[in-house]
Amino acid sequence: MGDSLSHLPQQLANGLTLGAVYALIALGYSLVYGVLRLLNFAHGEVYMVGAFIGYGVLSLLDPALAAGLPGWLGLTAMLLAAMLGCGLLGALIERLVYRPLRHTHRLAPLLGALGIAFVLQHGVLLLASARHRAIHAELILPAALGFELGSVRLSAARLLVIGIALLLLAALSLLVYRTRMGRALRAIGADPEAAAMLGVPVERVVSQTFVLGSALAGAAGVLVGLVFTKVWHLMGVAAGLKGFTAAVLGGIGSLPGALLGGLLLGIAESVSTGVISPTYSDLIVFGVLIVALLVRPSGLFGKRAQPKV
């Protein structure tokens, strides 16, 4: 055990990468839930599509990168394409599935979300086959690049992932707390009918929320490919579940909560894998989650549920 503690700092660094990705996914869940009280279970699949868009762009750019196109330009192209593509996909899903179901039975949108998840999984399966595909991240930056910080080794890829994730989070909080659109978004979350009466264009803001959350998931898909270098059509299932868990842990609907929940979950996963065993890591992580929710049922940053009149 003493031996395990000596590499705890490294496990924290590993967990931070994982956590940053979970946080990006969790934010999408929380944004949509905060506005619509809808659990968007297709979110993990949007993330998977983002990873595939990143894979596709990288494959297209492969010759250009080999010929000397700088890696950061390639990465920017991957991120932009995935965020744009996923944003569009999110808006489309909202328009075609969630909006028609919004004022029906409570469970209808949830089932719609599960249905969309299957459509996306199998759509990608048909288009790209079930083969696991490799992201050749070394085209963007060499895997061995990095530096030592005491006993901790930080690879450039991980630093980049954490950095970009933090940047996106900062941009999001500016958008939500400092812009007109953000105010409208929060207003709808507080009371959609009152917001509509006060002239907030509800449908448009809801669409924008989906674009935003899905774009973050797309970015997460690209970033995860840089470190874990593999994409396949079912990769969104586990990631979506972890993102959802992070959102619940942080208090679903709360943006700082999603960030903290994601980081905590990532670190808990890495430390339990590193100190105990990968076989039990999910057991430990979800065990901790259950205990945490027993102590704080509405999550770390969650508000107590208010009875709606």
Point out which residues bind other proteins (CB under 8 A).
3-4, 6-7, 10-11, 14-15, 17-18, 132, 134, 136-138, 143-144, 146, 153, 155, 157, 227-230, 234-235, 238, 269-271, 273-274, 277-279, 281
Task: List CB contacts of 157: < 8 A, sequence separation 6 or more.
Answer: 137, 140, 141, 143, 145, 146, 226, 227
Give how far Cα 109 sits from Cα of 94, 130, 155, 189, Å: 10, 28, 41, 17
Phi then psi for 147, rounded to 5 degrees? -145, 165
Distance in Å, CB of 141 to other proteins, minimum: 11
Q: Which is nearer to other proteins, 198 or 238 (CB)?
A: 238
Q: Which is nearer to other proteins, 11 or 207 (CB)?
A: 11
Q: Which is nearer to other proteins, 232 or 244 (CB)?
A: 232
Distance in Å, CB of 67 to other proteins, minimum: 18
Which residues are paired to 146 by β-bridges? 155
Q: Which is nearer to other proteins, 145 or 174 (CB)?
A: 145
Strands (E), the chain: 133-134, 146-149, 152-155, 230-231
Distance in Å, CB of 59 to other proteins, minimum: 13
Distance in Å, CB of 223 to other proteins, minimum: 13
Amino acid symbol at 55: Y
Residues 27, 216 contacting (CB under 8 angstroms): yes
Distance in Å, CB of 268 to other proteins, minimum: 11
Q: Which is nearer to other proteins, 123 or 138 (CB)?
A: 138
Give the residue from 54, 84, 34, 50 showing the smallest Cα distance to 209.
34
Task: List CB contacts of 77: < 8 A, sequence separation 6 or more.
Answer: 57, 61
